[in-house]
Amino acid sequence: MSVTETVSTGLAPEAGAPVLELIGVRAAYGPIEVLHGVDLTVRAGQVVALLGPNGGGKSTTVKVAAGLLAPTAGELRYAGRPVAGISAERAAKLGVCTIPEGRGVFANLTVRENLWLATGTGTSRDKVEDAAYTRFPVLGDRRDQLAGSMSGGEQQMLALSRALATDPAVLLLDELSMGLAPMIVAAIYDTVAHLVEEGISVLVAEQFARTVLPIADLAAVMLNGRITAVGAPADIAADLSTAYLGG
């Protein structure tokens, strides 16, 4: 593999340049193919929503994009460069970061211990804590509380802070809203919407379109392992209702 620098600093993509691309991606669990040729592009400065009913392949697409699952065919590109066979660890080093399912916090560690573990080389504990508490003041109030004893929304804020501590260029989020009250979801997505101002591009997989459409620049609908529509969020409402109702 020839990619030696991060997606963010290595190629300094200008706004609109592709930072993450899936081209004709197929993926399978054992003998069962679940992605049947997925094309998806996230450009610098975009929040892209990946929508569609349960079982459509959103999480699998996120896993492929994060290097957690190798495609069986097609191509994965970071900042225009093919990264076939990349590992999740390497993907993270290149600036493509995902929050694992189950929120990715250590329940039996405190908030600050969770943040400390997220510090990469060169980032101080204080800096990571400061950034997290500025973004989500409630985390500062709870810095010595065990993460597992916090509400789902607070844990999601902590997970997001941990992911951001790695200074990602591309953030992949999967069902951020799962199990959370609508007001909390709105607050978290409001934060996500502002990440682009920090140079972070975002791919969000969500079954419930309503929560993420307001902050998306582009929306893709996924059904049975294929992208069935891509467009401006306002334009794909019709495709969405077909996807959810048509089954």
Ligand X SMILES: Nc1ncnc2c1ncn2[C@@H]1O[C@H](COP(=O)(O)OP(=O)(O)O)[C@@H](O)[C@H]1O
Query: Quick check: 46 binds ligand X (CB under 6 A)?
Result: no
In angstroms, the first-to-last Cα distance of the chain is 40
- Strand locations in the chain, DSSP E? 18-29, 32-43, 47-51, 73-78, 81-82, 96-98, 170-174, 201-206, 218-223, 226-231
Cβ partners under 8 Å of residue 67, min gap 6? 76, 83, 86, 87, 88, 89, 90, 91, 96
Query: Quick check: 211 binds ligand X (CB under 6 A)?
Result: no
Residues 108-137, mask of contacts with Mg ion (x by CB under 5 A)? ------------------------------
Partner in contact with 233, chosen from Mg ion, ligand X, none, beta carbon below 5 to 8 Å by kind: none
Partner in contact with 55, chosen from ligand X, Mg ion, none, beta carbon below 5 to 8 Å by kind: ligand X
For residues 4-63, which are near Mg ion according to CB under 5 A? 58-59
Min dist. Cβ of residue 95 to Mg ion (A): 23
Q: Are 226 and 37 in contact (CB under 8 A)?
A: yes
Alpha-carbon span 45 to 55, nearest angstrom: 28
**Identity of the residue, 54 or 121, whose beta carbon is nearer to Mg ion in the bound complex:** 54
Query: Quick check: 57 binds ligand X (CB under 6 A)?
Result: yes
With CB under 6 A, what is the number of residues at the site for ligand X? 10
Binding residues for ligand X (CB under 6 A): 29, 34, 52, 54-60
